[in-house]
Amino acid sequence: MGSIGLLLVCKVLPYLEQELDYHYTLFRMSDYPQMAQLLSHHAASIRAVVCNTRAGADAKLIEALPNLEIVLNYGVGVDGVDLNKCREKGIRVTNTPDVLTDSVADLAIGLILTLLRRICECDRYVRSGQWKKGEYKLTSKFSGKTVGIVGLGRIGLAIAKRAEGFNCPICYYSRTEKPESKYKYYPSVVELASNCDILVVACSLTEETYHIINRKVIDALGPSGFLINIGRGKHVDEAELVSALVEGRLGGAGLDVFENEPHVPQELFGLENVVLLPHVGPGTVETRIAMADLVLGNLEAHFHGKPLLTPICLTSDVV
Ligand code: NAP
């Protein structure tokens, strides 16, 4: 397959990059400061694109590659790919579901515990020698708190199962009610936020879920409520979140994702009731290798005429 041109748009695990380089004619976007330079020389030979949410495949890129057949998203959330353009041009799209679910759900629980028990603050308390001057203040208990999940998909469900282990009542809001689920469904995010202590955002980013966490939702969660975001930064109206935290209208926030990554609002840096992570949900060695293998497996399947391992269905009802 060495003669098949493949464009790598995003940063990936070195293992994946090496495999792509070995099996395909690899073009790295990072080698071309001007995209026009890359396209003028190689556009016609590129048949596959590997991308992610930060460095995606937008309509402009897709239009510029006349022989593009497949877009492989190195991640589960395909908000960085113009799915309508792919559907229009008959380009196949794959992602890396399931293999990252555990790592992201583990991290969500880690964020909750870190936030409620002030684990980062406690660590700094010990390191700075303050413990010798007195005990650390009391914090909030996680076990038994009601957890509300926005988006009861693969990751949302995995978080729910973990939270059950902490004896937390679980409720959720999703695009559709899940009759088979034993968890309580609320028909709106505001109602969900009004009825839980910890609101976890785990839905996919679409036009409908952009700023799904707005002032109304934050106010419904209130000064004793906590927001956890392991979905996408754009799910949350960040300006509203910052002002709610600064003004004490929200109890706290644990955030793995931000609206304008890697930029994080400076106002959050001085607050002890926030935990800030650099978008590391699936960032474990085991998970990244499994994601890489899915990308490689999908590529091989596509170019050998076999069924894709994890295709995105491009019918109009899911885009
Ligand atoms: P999934 O199984 O497809 O679940 C997506 C969930 O979003 C579904 O429950 C779906 O509801 C819900 N949803 C979609 N549109 C909605 C709407 N308009 N209103 C309410 N809910 C809506 O995907 P997943 O594997 O769990 O991943 C979920 C998301 O997590 C990804 O899309 C990605 O953005 C994010 N993620 C983040 C990280 C990270 O690094 N922090 C890592 C991986 C994934 P229905 O079930 O009712 O259709």
Annotation says 211 is catalytic: no
Q: By C-alpha distance, which of 151, 155, 264 is closest to 212? A: 151
Q: 274-276 and 252-255: which strand pairing?
A: parallel
Q: For residue 311, what pLDDT is reported?
A: 98
Contact status, residue 241 vs residue 219, Cβ threshold 8 Å: no
Annotation says 232 is catalytic: yes
Q: For residue 92, what pLDDT is reported?
A: 98
DSSP at 256: S
Task: Output the tens digit of pLDDT for each of the chain's 319 residues.
Answer: 668 999 999 999 999 999 999 999 999 999 998 888 999 999 999 999 999 999 999 999 999 999 999 999 999 999 999 999 999 999 999 999 999 999 999 999 999 999 999 999 999 999 999 999 999 999 999 999 999 999 999 999 999 999 999 999 999 999 999 999 999 999 999 999 999 999 999 999 999 999 999 999 999 999 999 999 999 999 999 999 999 999 999 999 999 999 999 999 999 999 999 999 999 999 999 999 999 999 999 999 999 999 999 999 997 544 3
CB of 234 shorter than 6 A to ligand 1: no
Residues pairing with 92 in the sheet = 70
Domain borders along the chain are 5-97+286-303, 101-276
CB of 76 shorter than 6 A to ligand 1: yes
C-alpha torsion sign, points 39, 43, 46, 51: positive
Show contacts of 210-213: CB within 8 Å, 24+ apart.
210/234, 210/235, 211/235, 211/236, 211/237, 212/150, 212/236, 213/150, 213/189, 213/237, 213/241
Ligand 1 mean position, distance from CA 129 (Å): 42
Ligand 1 mean position, distance from CA 293 (Å): 22
- The CATH classification number of 5-97+286-303 equals 3.40.50.720
Domain at 101-276: CATH architecture: 3-Layer(aba) Sandwich (3.40)
Q: For residue 193, what pLDDT is reported?
A: 99
CB of 77 shorter than 6 A to ligand 1: yes
Q: Do domains 5-97+286-303 and 101-276 have the same CATH topology?
A: yes
pTM (2 d.p.) = 0.97
From CA 14, how far away is CA 156, in angstroms rounded?
29
Q: For residue 316, what pLDDT is reported?
A: 58
